[in-house]
A = this chain, B = another copy of it.
Amino acid sequence: MVIGLGLIGTGFMGKAHALAYRNARAVFGDLPETRLARLCDMPDERAQAMADQLGFASATGDWRALVADPAVDIVSITTPNGLHREMALAAIAAGKHVHCEKPLALRLEDAREMEAAAREAGVRTMVGYNYIHNPAIAHARKLVAEGAIGRPVHFRGWVDEDYQADPDLPWSWRATRAEAGLGTLGDLGCHLVSMSQILMGPIESLIADTQIIHADRPLPDGSGRAAVENEDAASAIIRYGSGAQGTLCSSRSAWGRKNRLDWELHGTKGMIAFGQERLNELQLYTNEGPAGRQGFRTILTGPEHPPYGAFCPAPGHQLGFGDLKTIEAAAFLRAIASGAPVFPDFTDALAIEAVIHAIDVSAREGRRVTL
Q: Give chain B residues whose Cβ lies under 8 Å from the Cβ of A53.
A: 25-26, 29
Q: Map CB proximity to B onto A184-223 as digits: 1 under 8 Å, 0 otherwise.
A: 0000000000000000000000011101011000000000
Indicate whether A23 sits within 8 Å of B22 (C-beta atoms), given known contacts A154-B233, A254-B154, A304-B292: yes
A211 to B320, CA, bound (A): 35
**Number of identical protomers:** 4
Q: Give chain B residues whose Cβ lies under 8 Å from the Cβ of A271.
A: 254-257
Q: Give chain B residues whose Cβ lies under 8 Å from the Cβ of A177.
A: none
A contact set with B: CB distance below 8 Å: 11-12, 15-16, 18-19, 22-23, 25-27, 29, 53-55, 139, 143, 148-150, 153-154, 156, 158, 161, 165-167, 207-209, 211, 213-214, 233, 235-237, 239, 245-247, 249, 251, 253-260, 266-271, 276-280, 282, 284-287, 290-300, 302, 304-305, 311-323, 366, 368
A93 to B295, CA, bound (A): 48
CB distance from A51 to the nearest CB of B (A): 11
Most chain B Cβ neighbours within 10 Å, of A12, A214, A286, A293:
A293
Contact call A299/B294, Cβ cutoff below 8 A: yes
Q: Give chain B residues whose Cβ lies under 8 Å from the Cβ of A23.
A: 19, 22-23
A222 to B27, CA, bound (A): 37
Indicate whether A316 sits within 8 Å of B258 (C-beta atoms), given known contacts A26-B55, A239-B209: yes
Q: Is the interface of A mostly helix, strand, loop or mixed?
A: mixed
A314 CB contact (under 8 Å) in B236, B259, B298, B313: B259
- What are the 4 closest A-B residue pairs judged by CB atoms, nearest first? A258-B316, A320-B320, A256-B285, A292-B304
A317 to B271, CA, bound (A): 20
A22 to B55, CA, bound (A): 10
Residue on B with the closest CB to A277? B316
A320 to B213, CA, bound (A): 35
A272 to B151, CA, bound (A): 31
A305 to B258, CA, bound (A): 14
Q: Give chain B residues whose Cβ lies under 8 Å from the Cβ of A305.
A: 292
A311 CB contact (under 8 Å) in B260, B266, B284, B320: B320
Contact call A300/B18, Cβ cutoff below 8 A: no
Indicate whether A315 sits within 8 Å of B54 (C-beta atoms), given known contacts A22-B23, A207-B237, A208-B237: no
CB distance from A88 to the nearest CB of B (A): 24
Q: Give chain B residues whose Cβ lies under 8 Å from the Cβ of A294.
A: 256, 297, 299
Contact call A368/B368, Cβ cutoff below 8 A: no
Contact call A266/B253, Cβ cutoff below 8 A: yes
Contact call B295/A270, Cβ cutoff below 8 A: no
Q: Give chain B residues whose Cβ lies under 8 Å from the Cβ of A139.
A: 292
Q: Give chain B residues whose Cβ lies under 8 Å from the Cβ of A319.
A: 318, 320-322
Contact call B292/A295, Cβ cutoff below 8 A: no
A54 CB contact (under 8 Å) in B26, B267, B323: B26
Contact call B285/A255, Cβ cutoff below 8 A: yes
Contact call A12/B279, Cβ cutoff below 8 A: no
Residue on B with the closest CB to A259? B316
Q: Give chain B residues whose Cβ lies under 8 Å from the Cβ of A320.
A: 311, 317-323
